[in-house]
Amino acid sequence: MPDWKTVIRERLAPLHLKPAGESDLTEEIAHHLEDCYRELQSGGASEQEAYEKTLLELDDLYPLAQGLERNQRMPKHDHVPAGDSRPGNLLQDFWRDLRYALRALRHSPVFVVFAVLTLALGIGANTTVFTTINTLFLNPLPMQNTAELAAVAAADSTPTPRSAASFPISYADLKDYQARNRVFRSLAAYTSPRVATWQQTGSSERLFAELVTGDYFSTLGLKPVKGRFFLPDEDSTPGTHAVAVMNYATWQSRFGGAPDIVGKNLRLNSIEFTVIGVAPPGFIGLNAVFGPDVWIPAAMAERFLPTKCKMR
């Protein structure tokens, strides 16, 4: 690789610049010449041809004068000198500006990292807020009489700061509540989305599954768009009914809305589940912002999960 900095210093010597200004200008023009040299070689030019054509860049005093003006006067904007006859090709100008921007960013890596992190945090926060508002207010649950729904949770009776916070009830408590219920038409339960491994031929992907009781969908008054929902006996005997209801969005995005999705087998956590139905569009469960890809019977918890789960 030619020593561009030496060549540039020889051209700048008659200008008698200050050491700091000369160093910055040399560095900037050297990057420019190096980019031109590599582009010419990539286009098939030999090393000698690329070197000679790159030196011609120094015969054009425009970049040299522009760089000198920046280093000596530091104006807010670079002005195109009168009589600049370079063609105004939009793509060439864009590519030149992009290379200049990349070189400038390379000199300020801390600023680049800070700017990227700021943008990422801002976009992430806005996305979360919009998703929450869209789910809770703009597009609520796709069902009728949502005001009749009520959530049941457990609370610690001990008078401590933690007693004010609610936490999920156990499956055994749920059965007691269902047996003694005299208030609600039905009581259903669900877990938060759990990570599951979808095992395919030669590969595996991550899916999210939610365990629900057999009356989950009927309590919410939902109807499937394909197939059916869980039957009462599919949530009665632990580990005996490996069936699943698929999220409508998952059916569309991962399976292309295949019309024969009902009856398909999904291998989740080394268990073969049969898809028996698809939930209605827009329904992502009761966790508001984040929903599962599939729902499976709560009776499959001992086989499906490594540890026992609590129902909500």
pTM: 0.55
pLDDT value for 289: 64
Task: Quote the Cα angle for 123-126-132, to 5°.
Answer: 140
Instruction: Give the separation between CA 310 and CA 172, rounded to whole angstroms.
Output: 9
Tens-digit pLDDT profile for residues 15-41: 666 777 677 777 878 887 888 888 888
What is the three-class DSSP state of 275?
Answer: strand
Instruction: Give the separation between CA 60 and CA 44, rounded to whole angstroms.
Output: 23
Tens-digit pLDDT profile for residues 78-131: 454 554 545 556 677 777 787 777 777 777 788 888 888 998 989 988 877 776
Q: How many CB atoms lie within 10 A of CB 44?
A: 8
| Burial class of 187 by CB neighbour count within 10 A (0 to 12, 13 to 18, 19+) | middle
Instruction: Give the separation between CA 7 and CA 26, rounded to whole angstroms.
Output: 9
Q: For the chain, what is the mean pLDDT? A: 79
Q: What residue has token string 């966790």? A: 287
Domain layout of the chain by residue ranges: 4-107, 154-304
β-sheet bridge partners, residue 274: 243, 265
pLDDT value for 61: 47
Q: Is the confidence at residue 246, as pLDDT, over 80?
A: yes
Instruction: Give the separation between CA 303 and CA 216, rounded to whole angstroms.
Output: 20
pLDDT value for 161: 61
